[in-house]
Chain A
Amino acid sequence: MGEANNNKAMQDMEGQYITFELGGETYGIAILKLIEIIGFRELTKIPNVPSFIKGILNLRGAAIPVIDLREHFHLQNVNYDSFTVIMILKISARTIGLIVDNVKDVVAFTQDQLRPAPRFNSQIKTDFIKAMGEKDDKFVILLDIDRLLSDEELNVVDGV
């Protein structure tokens, strides 16, 4: 039964992922969540929020909050450069920007290339990981972006 559930879960995760690099590791986000990718630009700071919330940017007249995944994962900070990009994602009703090192390719994963998220020793909280994708001997950490940036996640900072 557990096996069957797993297969079903893996089957649901089949599809195309946009992959990007962050501190040497490759991550993927379901391509359907992606609206567009823009170059890094200066942001307006938001007062009194944790540092991983980098500020607000103007995307064709809409004010969009931008988050640095690296800081969120407690990876080492780097300076933003000309390779740094912002991925604009649609997460439920929200539009949010995500700063990443550089965007690589769109990779399609089939059921047999997907593994359940391992409980490995990482600084990353594993509940954000929905699966591991393996292709051409390379691993891609597939993120559950909805969970990563849930309401809770954004509102947790209220108490700061």
Chain B
Amino acid sequence: MPNDELIQVFMEESEEEIKELEAGLISLEEDPDNIDADNIGRIFRSAHTIKGSAGMVGFEDVANFTHNLENILDKVRNNELKVTKNLITSLLEGVDFLKGLISATINKEDIDSAKMQSITSRLKRFASPLLDEAEESSSETKVVPGGVKERVFAISMRFRPDIFMTGQDPLMLLHELYDMGEIVEIYAHTEGIPDFYALKPTNCYMWWEIIIRTEQPLSNLKNVFIFVEDENEIHIDDITEKYTDGGNLDLAEKPIGEILVEKGIIKEEDLIEALREHKTTGQQLVEKGKAPKDIVENVARIQSRSRKVVRSKTIRVDTEKLDKLVNLVGEMVISVARMVQFSTAIKDPLLFRSFETSSAALERVSRELQEQVMRVRMIPVEGTFNRFRRLVRDLAFEQGKKIELKMSGTETELDKNVVEQIGDPLKHMIRNSIDHGIETPEERKAKGKPETGTIWLKAYQEEGSIFIEIADDGRGIDKDRLLAKAIEKGIADASQQYSEEDIFNFMFAPGLSTAEKVTEISGRGVGMDVVKKNIEDLRGSIEVISSKDMGTVFRVRFPLTLAIIDSMTVRVGKEVFTVPLSVIEKSLRPGREDIKTVEGKGELIDIRGEYIPLVRLYELFNIIPEKTDPTEAFVVVLQGTASRFGVLVDDILGLSQAVIKSIDKNFRKIEGTSGATILGNGKVSLILDIHGMERLAFNDKRNIRIFKGVV
């Protein structure tokens, strides 16, 4: 219901307008042959305004009735209708009725519908004298189309660069399309975006191709573009038939060899032989001369097109659901493994045999299930890799260098979390290669190298791990300078001999930067130590290989699955903690003579001649321990980014596989831990995080006492 304020405004306004209407009509009547355009314009507008306003306050009867008056006045205005005494009389009668209708509506009184009907039909006859009422009412019934069928349209939208100045925004059109049906495919063309230096922020450089599946007719789609179609290139094609023809769903799932056999291009034996080799089937068959190259290529092309169609048949799944699934499956794999261990307790040999057979099958199936579920979480690195094209181009331009970026293995898939978070560390390594690796064109020429340097970005899978490599053909790492710097910063010991690998690893030590000058983009206080830490947080590792004037390779390695880690469980008091095996160097029970307390450095433990800090876990986490004497307890030696340290625990319980659960989703990050896992007995165990523990133990002043303790 409209509110009182609005009705009040409407009442006053309609009174004004009706006065205007009456006055205008009367002067029109006085001089019917000499129509004053201004006068008739004013009268028309009054009727028009009343109609619009009545509609806004929801007085539909008033609006509909006034529409008749407006209609006639419009025709008078356009000289389509001659002003007669009769016409004016009818119009005035209409205006009189309108007054009563408005007040009746406002006061919620009954309206005289019979009278309204008769006046309306009289007015209608003036407006369209040739049309009798019956015809008119029949013409109002809309033609209902037979059945609504979904159609597929291909839309391409290219805009004039200054589209934004017209008050239009392509995004708005996209939103509108989203509302009209299912966007099956959408591709934004970004090729037109110029160099940053030539970019006008107010211009639109992109264009779009969209495939939409909708029940809406073409005309409705066209309506979306009514404001832009003239000055921009908008094409809409109905591709309903073509679209289904475009791909054969059966084809997409079949191996290429099978398709070739079915088509009679090759024999089945040839296929089997080809499958024994490791290269792709198509490649094999071509090489062996069993199938003509062009045919194989053609089949492969059709197949890839079909796969594209299939790809559009994907569904979106909430990552939370996926995580749950991953967790559950991980849980299952571990339970199965535990169950299999119990089989040794079975005394009856026959029973043992059949138990073993079925449990082996269960183990295999659950492993496979786990692998498949993990795969669902994986996405290709392509998107992340592509972001660097721009970075390389801009940095090269800025530094006057010529650099080509080559990518391979962009289809390699990695866990979604890793792909999302690997961007920053990769960016840093690429910057490093550009800033310090690739030489200027002059320098390269002098060395007899091609003027254009190359940076390779590779991803591949090998031996259950996924590798990402950032390689350049630049000047390589200057070992002597790196070592000198490490000594200068107190990271390396001048008296000691270091292997090449050791020296390269100094790169990742905190507080070491070999950059001669800090460029605008590289080294904003972020060193390679942070890169290493970020990668380790993602449970990856990094190594560097370099050779003078040949170039440098950073190789990052990630485990195939991230949700499960091999771990060691340790106990402190009543609490059980889980430690990732990847950070454990060894565990031992120290002798009395191995423990030293050094003023200002705290408690140290001798590990084969090297003294490393000893952290008492119970002090770090404020737990009541069972043992405080290290010689009765155990020390687990952890190898972190920057440091090695020993952690004192009551007991080591064993090795296990742990399914990682996040806690911060329900709580917040717990310092010193990276999540939790569920133990065999159903209890939750926190997973120790080496970086967090380092922070707690060495950076936090509150914990300095740990290192000042007395043995």
In the complex they form, whether A and B have CB atoms below 8 Å apart is answered with: yes
What is the count of residue pairs linking A and B with beta-carbon distances less than 8 angstroms?
Answer: 71
Which of A7-15, A24-32, A93-101, A109-117 lies at the interface with chain B?
Answer: A93-101
Q: Which of A43, A57, A61 has the most CB of B within 10 A?
A: A61
Which residues of chain A are near B667, meaning CB under 8 Å?
46, 56, 65, 94, 96, 154
Which residues of chain A are near B663, meaning CB under 8 Å?
56, 63, 65
Given known pairs A44-B575, A93-B665, A94-B665, the reply for A61 and B331 (CB within 8 Å) is: yes
Taking a contact as CB atoms under 8 Å apart, the answer to whether A47 and B672 are in contact is: yes
Which of B268-276, B287-295, B498-506, B620-628 lies at the interface with chain A?
Answer: B620-628
Residue of B nearest to A157 (CB): B668
* B683: Cβ under 8 A from any A Cβ: yes
Q: Which of A43, A48, A63, A158 contacts B661 (CB 8 A)?
A: A63
How many interface residues does A have (CB within 8 Å)? 24
* B162: Cβ under 8 A from any A Cβ: no
* A42: Cβ under 8 A from any B Cβ: yes
* B252: Cβ under 8 A from any A Cβ: no
Query: Closest CB-CB distance, A89 to chain B, in whole Å?
Result: 11
Which residues of chain A are near B204, meaning CB under 8 Å?
none
Which residues of chain B are near A154, meaning CB under 8 Å?
667-668
Q: Which of A49, A56, A96, A155 contacts B684 (CB 8 A)?
A: A56
* B671: Cβ under 8 A from any A Cβ: yes
Query: Closest CB-CB distance, B432 to chain A, in whole Å?
Result: 34
Which residues of chain A are near B576, meaning CB under 8 Å?
44
Taking a contact as CB atoms under 8 Å apart, the answer to whether A56 and B676 are in contact is: yes
Query: Closest CB-CB distance, B208 to chain A, in whole Å?
Result: 34
Residue of A nearest to B327 (CB): A61
* B649: Cβ under 8 A from any A Cβ: no
Q: Please, how many angstroms separate the alpha-carbon atoms of A47 and B697 in the complex?
A: 14
Which residues of chain A are near B620, meaning CB under 8 Å?
47
Given known pairs A56-B676, A63-B676, the reply for A45 and B575 (CB within 8 Å) is: yes
Which residues of chain A are near B671, meaning CB under 8 Å?
47-48
How many interface residues does B have (CB within 8 Å)? 28
* A150: Cβ under 8 A from any B Cβ: no
Which residues of chain B are near A95, meaning CB under 8 Å?
666
Residue of B nearest to A57 (CB): B684
* B556: Cβ under 8 A from any A Cβ: no
Q: Which of B653-685 contact A (CB under 8 A)?
A: 661-663, 665-668, 670-673, 675-676, 678, 682-685
Query: Closest CB-CB distance, B328 to chain A, in whole Å?
Result: 6
Query: Closest CB-CB distance, B377 to chain A, in whole Å?
Result: 17
Which residues of chain B are near A55, meaning CB under 8 Å?
684
* B392: Cβ under 8 A from any A Cβ: no
Taking a contact as CB atoms under 8 Å apart, the answer to whether B622 and A48 are in contact is: yes
Given known pairs A44-B685, A47-B621, the reply for A61 and B661 (CB within 8 Å) is: yes
Q: Which of B608-641 contact A (CB under 8 A)?
A: 620-623
Q: Which of B475-510 contact A (CB under 8 A)?
A: none
Q: Which of A46, A93, A158 contacts B686 (CB 8 A)?
A: A46
Q: Please, how many angstroms separate the alpha-carbon atoms of A49 and B678 in the complex?
A: 21
Interface string of A110-137 (1 = CB under 8 A from B): 0000000000000000000000000000
Which residues of chain B are near A6, meaning CB under 8 Å?
none
* A64: Cβ under 8 A from any B Cβ: yes
Taking a contact as CB atoms under 8 Å apart, the answer to whether B622 and A44 are in contact is: no
Taking a contact as CB atoms under 8 Å apart, the answer to whether A62 and B668 are in contact is: no
Given known pairs A47-B620, A48-B671, A63-B661, the reply for A58 and B666 (CB within 8 Å) is: no
Taking a contact as CB atoms under 8 Å apart, the answer to whether A65 and B666 are in contact is: yes
Q: Which of B665, B672, B678, B686 contacts A61 (CB 8 A)?
A: B678
Which residues of chain A are near B621, meaning CB under 8 Å?
47-48
Which residues of chain B are near A42, meaning CB under 8 Å?
683
Q: Which of B327, B331, B623, B684 contacts A47 (CB 8 A)?
A: B623
Query: Closest CB-CB distance, B135 to chain A, in whole Å?
Result: 54
- Using a CB–CB cutoff of 8 Å, the interface residues on chain A facing chain B are 42-49, 55-58, 61-65, 93-96, 154-155, 158
7 further contact pairs, Cβ within 8 A, besides A56-B667, A56-B684: A44-B676, A45-B575, A47-B672, A47-B686, A58-B684, A93-B665, A95-B666
List 24 contacting pairs A-B, 8 Å CB cutoff, sorted by A. A43-B684, A44-B575, A44-B576, A44-B686, A46-B667, A47-B620, A47-B672, A47-B673, A48-B670, A49-B670, A55-B684, A56-B676, A61-B328, A61-B331, A61-B661, A62-B666, A63-B661, A63-B662, A63-B676, A64-B666, A65-B667, A94-B665, A154-B667, A155-B668
